[in-house]
């Protein structure tokens, strides 16, 4: 793939999109009518891409183009547009396993780095719904099903190792976005970096994290796990901003960070954003549901997500009858072999849980002390107020990294959340630990 746009590449505007689609007859047919009959809306609100929603007499489409720079920084922060290829390749690879939990992809333009996909309507971004106090009870189970299927069927547990090697040959080249993860998740929050965005009252917390050798050692374990544990094909950026929902449907979008890595990474990222929503909720002005009830929903959803993931992952594994190199069925015949195989399965999932908690904590910290902070906190406009739930989230994440033995199951995670509610702005005053 190219490290920069080719000579034919040009950035589309909303005015350009209809003519572009008109040149793709099969795609234009999905809209119906003529370009003059179509409407195009620029809806991009992320950091990396242009996104347009196009509607015609017969239907709608989503058009996504990778930009050669980070949108919020402009040309001062160049970015490899070939990430669109990796998003497309990821979508194609997992489609047989996740079905309608991901949007259908209709077209990929390798010259313009454009993906044309199903328009999701009336779906909304999960994060926006959570901030508004709207509960979507299907999401934890749907996302658990998505992650369980994708992480099992792209691993050595469900195929000969050559299959995963083929995935690695493709996604190991997604280095530009992996560099973002390595720097923004595992490095910048623990150093002085011009990219960090720290709420001013949290400066003492930031300084304490930079000085904490034990904490940085725990983060190093997480970083090395991310870099070295090639278990399955990951979404790589699975959070409440990359999930679109209605009360009846859940869809996972934006797979451009895809990599072959530790399966716990996607799990931990998803849980992290529910944890941060839990801490932020008392400071949101909107919401049809009371704070206590909504927090109870979020806590129950965290438990439901992990329990569902564990059950579905193990179910896929127990029912798998194909050829795979991870746990050859021929080695575990008879009752004793079956019992030992089940022990190995449960140990494997327990390792995923431990990894997930480690990554969960790192994801929380990067969203508070690093770049690309989340709206759950940013909608709290008063920095002095915003710092309070952010400090609580930091204290919780620090505890998980430093004392993993205290968090042996998902119930312990949820039970710990209220203990850090009053963590405060002084990191030296330990509350909850």
At 54-63, the pLDDT tens digits run: 999 999 999 9
User: How far apart are alpha carbons 311 and 261 in whole angstroms?
Assistant: 21
pLDDT tens profile 384-403: 999 999 999 999 999 999 99
What are residue 56's phi and psi, to 5 degrees? -135, 180
Distance between start and end Cα atoms, the chain:
48
User: How far apart are alpha carbons 152 and 180 in whole angstroms?
Assistant: 26
DSSP state of 241: T
**Residue 320 structure tokens:** 């798998």
pLDDT reading at 12 higher than 90: yes
Could you tell me which residues are beta bridge partners of residue 108? 115
pLDDT tens profile 398-426: 999 999 999 999 999 999 999 999 999 99
- Neighbouring CB atoms inside 10 A of 420's CB total 23
pLDDT tens profile 65-88: 999 987 766 677 788 999 999 999
What is the side-by-side order of every strand in the sheet holding 250-252? 124-125, 243-245, 250-252
Mean pLDDT of the chain: 95
- CATH classification code of 124-420: 3.90.1200.10
Helices and strands (H, E) in the chain, number of each type: 15, 12
For CATH 3.90.1200.10, the residue range(s) in the chain are 124-420
- Is-contact 223 358, C-beta < 8 A? no
Res. 2 pLDDT band, cuts 50 70 90: very low
User: How far apart are alpha carbons 50 and 276 in whole angstroms?
Assistant: 27
pLDDT at 3: 47
pLDDT tens profile 322-341: 999 999 999 999 999 999 99
pLDDT reading at 215 higher than 50: yes
The percentage of residues in the chain with a pLDDT greater than 90, rounded to a whole number, is 91
pLDDT reading at 46 higher than 70: no
pLDDT at 70: 78
Left (φ > 0), alpha (ψ -120 to 50) or beta: where does 59 sit? Answer: left
pLDDT reading at 354 higher than 90: yes
- Identify which of 257, 92, 294 has the alpha carbon closest to the alpha carbon of residue 177: 257
Q: Does domain 17-118 have CATH number 1.10.150.120?
A: no
142-180 b/e (C-beta count within 10 Å ≥ 16 → b): bbbbbbbbbbbbbbbbbbeeebbeebbebbeebebbbeb
- Identify which of 87, 353, 104, 397 has the alpha carbon closest to the alpha carbon of residue 236: 87
For CATH 3.30.200.20, the residue range(s) in the chain are 17-118
Please give the model's pTM, rounded to 2 decimal places: 0.95
- The DSSP element (H or E) to which 316 belongs, if any, is helix 291-319
């Amino acid at each position: 793939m190219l490290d920069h746009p080719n000579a034919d590449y040009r950035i589309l505007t909303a005015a350009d999109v209809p003519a572009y689609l008109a040149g793709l007859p099969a795609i234009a047919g999905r809209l119906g009518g003529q370009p003059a009959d179509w409407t195009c809306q620029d809806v991009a609100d992320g950091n990396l891409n242009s996104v347009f929603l196009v509607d015609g007499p017969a239907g709608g489409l989503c058009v996504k183009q990778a930009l050669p720079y980070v949108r919020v920084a402009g040309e001062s922060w160049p970015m490899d547009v070939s990430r669109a290829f990796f998003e497309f390749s990821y979508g194609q690879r997992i489609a047989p396993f996740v079905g309608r939990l991901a949007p259908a992809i209709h077209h990929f333009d390798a010259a313009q780095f454009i993906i044309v996909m199903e328009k999701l309507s009336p779906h909304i971004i999960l994060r926006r719904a959570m901030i508004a106090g709207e509960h979507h009870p299907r999401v934890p189970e749907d996302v658990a099903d998505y992650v369980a299927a994708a992480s099992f069927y792209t691993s050595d547990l469900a195929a000969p190792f050559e299959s995963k090697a083929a995935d690695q040959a493709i996604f190991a080249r997604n280095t530009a976005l992996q560099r973002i993860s390595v720097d923004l998740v595992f490095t910048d929050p623990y150093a002085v970096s011009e990219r960090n965005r720290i709420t001013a009252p949290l400066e003492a917390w930031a300084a304490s994290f930079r000085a904490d050798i034990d904490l940085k050692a725990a983060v190093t374990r997480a970083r090395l796990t991310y870099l070295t544990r090639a278990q399955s094909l990951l979404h790589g950026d699975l959070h409440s901003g990359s999930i679109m929902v209605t009360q009846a449907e859940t869809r996972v979008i934006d797979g451009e960070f895809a990599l072959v890595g530790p399966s716990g990474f996607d799990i931990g990222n998803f849980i992290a954003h529910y944890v941060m929503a839990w801490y932020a909720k008392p400071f949101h002005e909107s919401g049809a549901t009371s704070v206590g009830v909504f927090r109870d929903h979020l806590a129950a959803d965290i438990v439901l997500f992990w329990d569902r993931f564990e059950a579905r992952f193990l179910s896929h594994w127990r029912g798998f009858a194909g050829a795979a190199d991870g746990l050859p069925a021929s080695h575990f015949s008879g009752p004793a072999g079956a019992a030992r195989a089940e022990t190995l399965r449960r140990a494997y999932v327990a390792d995923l849980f431990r990894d997930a908690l480690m990554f969960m904590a790192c994801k929380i910290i990067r969203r508070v002390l690093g770049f690309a902070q989340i709206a759950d906190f940013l909608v709290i406009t008063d920095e002095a107020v915003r710092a309070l739930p952010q400090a609580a989230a930091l204290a919780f994440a620090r505890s998980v990294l430093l004392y993993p033995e205290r968090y042996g199951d998902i119930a312990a995670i949820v039970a710990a959340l209220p203990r850090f509610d009053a963590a405060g702005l002084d990191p030296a005053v330990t509350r909850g630990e």
